[in-house]
Chains A and B, each alone.
Chain A
């Protein structure tokens, strides 16, 4: 029930879906296409496809984060009290929200994944299925992270800014836009952070799933990336749920 409600709420944000679709088209139609002509010959052959896969993960990340904004909206309009009065345990409520946040981001990104598969192609359907299933962990984990931060901060302004800054850093310090080898050449510290970034795990996994295996960061694939995502998912879903549950009592979210 909680998951279903969050899915219905997301479909109300039609403008957001339109906006993100425009962004996707601009990213691949302009940046991806032009940048693939700008990079070194060794990378140029695959960069367009490599970049499309990265854009999909960026979209999945930003759609999963959106659940945090819903929480602030509900707190502002007094919907929170109503939700707490329902015959649903706190744990079920929070867990349902995390799962709902992840699933709805998949519904949003699903058609874009289909477009990207049409452009990139699909080398091995089984690999893709494994990667696709594991990416749910990524989406649930990001939703859990967003809920944890939203409840921890209590201010929609601060949340908005922190998520913007976090998005800027977490996406750029990952392999969504460029392979790890080039990050390593640019800066050792950046490279170290890139290695432990869940966005890197998800990007690598998606690329492995669609058959872009050159320039993968993690080894052995897909095990290394899946383990990374399981740790990320567990940390932010279960720890986040516990944290959220405690905050909910006695009006702690206000």
Chain B
């Protein structure tokens, strides 16, 4: 446990080295919320506006999840850099077991995402109102699952390639598919309607439904806005996503960095 905490501490210290990068990221998130969402507020169809209260309110949980995703994914970039510069040899020489090292890095990635996301979540609460204490715990638990899953996905991608370009391209693909094919920017019901009309291919609709970013965003909305209705499927999706990617990342990290 002590060793894991050391690894987490090391990764947190690294995280604070990127303070300017974080400032840039937060300015983008806030510009999305306070400029783009405010303008879309005026543009949304009245029928949809009735479902989502207002686009500004609807989008606030989405921005929280975008911030969580981007910051939790950062751990992969650091690990990819360590693999390229062979710093992982030093990490492997430390008196820490491979498993502790892998768990520490995974947890650090997730916790960094949670820390970055906190002011955005607070902003969402200020806009939409505060949840009850049990709801708050469910939200934090669900977002932690999401953050560790994202951290795992990022680590698994990072150790799979020594090329920064390939890592960045893979990250871009993951970002854009998961962001745009989710309920972050628009209600899931709209994507489902497009699927029923044959405009959106069915696999895309299924991806949007199972997308952990949809589940995380809709879970916050269900507690703070009452729409969509809370469903245990949201938790189930997050648990499955987190379980798959934390396990994959741990094994990939332990096996692949030993081989390189």
Q: Which residues of A come within 8 Å of B, CB atoms?
A: 14-15, 18-19, 22-23, 26-27, 29-31, 33-35, 37-41, 43-44, 157-158, 160-162, 164-165, 167-169, 172-173, 177-178, 182-183, 185-187, 190
Given A34-B185, A164-B24, A186-B41, the answer on whether A40 and B194 have CB atoms closer than 8 Å is: no
A160→B21 CA distance, assembly (Å): 8
| CB-based contact A169/B35 at 8 Å | yes
| CB-based contact B200/A158 at 8 Å | no
Ordered by A's residue number, 29 sampled pairs between the chains whose C-beta atoms are within 8 Å are: A15-B169, A19-B168, A30-B180, A33-B199, A34-B185, A34-B194, A34-B200, A35-B185, A37-B190, A37-B193, A38-B48, A39-B43, A39-B44, A39-B45, A44-B45, A158-B20, A161-B24, A162-B24, A165-B27, A165-B28, A168-B27, A168-B28, A168-B31, A172-B32, A178-B43, A182-B39, A187-B38, A190-B35, A190-B39
Contacts of A26 in B (CB 8 A): 176-177, 179-180
How near does chain B come to A64, taking the closest CB pair, in angstroms?
19
B40 close to chain A: CB less than 8 A: yes
How near does chain B come to A31, taking the closest CB pair, in angstroms?
5
A58→B24 CA distance, assembly (Å): 18
How near does chain B come to A12, taking the closest CB pair, in angstroms?
10
How many B residues touch the partner, as a band? 35 or more
| CB-based contact B38/A22 at 8 Å | no
A15→B193 CA distance, assembly (Å): 35
B135 close to chain A: CB less than 8 A: no
Contacts of B43 in A (CB 8 A): 38-40, 43, 178, 182
List B residues 4-50 near A (Cβ within 8 Å).
20-21, 23-25, 27-28, 31-32, 35-36, 38-46, 48
A37→B173 CA distance, assembly (Å): 24
Contacts of A162 in B (CB 8 A): 24
Contacts of A172 in B (CB 8 A): 31-32, 35-36
Given A15-B169, A30-B180, A44-B45, the answer on whether A178 and B32 have CB atoms closer than 8 Å is: no
Q: Point out which of B20, B42, B45, B181 has the most chain A C-beta atoms below 10 A from its C-beta.
A: B42
Contacts of B230 in A (CB 8 A): none
Given A34-B186, A40-B45, the answer on whether A18 and B169 have CB atoms closer than 8 Å is: yes
Contacts of B181 in A (CB 8 A): 30
Q: Point out which of A29, A44, A186 has the most chain B C-beta atoms below 10 A from its C-beta.
A: A186
| CB-based contact B32/A27 at 8 Å | no
A165→B22 CA distance, assembly (Å): 11
Nearest-CB residue, chain B, relative to A13: B165
Give the dominant DSSP class at B's interface. Answer: helix
Nearest-CB residue, chain B, relative to A158: B20
Contacts of A177 in B (CB 8 A): 36, 39
How near does chain B come to A235, taking the closest CB pair, in angstroms?
24
Nearest-CB residue, chain B, relative to A162: B24
A43→B28 CA distance, assembly (Å): 26
17 additional contacts (CB under 8 A) given A162-B24, A167-B28: A14-B165, A19-B169, A22-B176, A23-B172, A27-B180, A31-B180, A38-B48, A40-B44, A44-B45, A161-B24, A164-B27, A164-B28, A177-B36, A178-B39, A182-B43, A183-B39, A190-B39
B146 close to chain A: CB less than 8 A: no
| CB-based contact A38/B190 at 8 Å | yes
| CB-based contact B20/A157 at 8 Å | yes
Nearest-CB residue, chain A, relative to B165: A15
| CB-based contact A38/B45 at 8 Å | yes
Contacts of B42 in A (CB 8 A): 182, 185-186
Contacts of B45 in A (CB 8 A): 38-41, 44
A14→B180 CA distance, assembly (Å): 23
B166 close to chain A: CB less than 8 A: yes
Q: Point out which of A37, A173, A185 has the most chain B C-beta atoms below 10 A from its C-beta.
A: A37
A54→B176 CA distance, assembly (Å): 18
How near does chain A come to B166, taking the closest CB pair, in angstroms?
7
A178→B36 CA distance, assembly (Å): 9
How near does chain A come to B186, taking the closest CB pair, in angstroms?
5
How near does chain B come to A171, taking the closest CB pair, in angstroms?
9
B191 close to chain A: CB less than 8 A: yes
Nearest-CB residue, chain A, relative to B26: A165
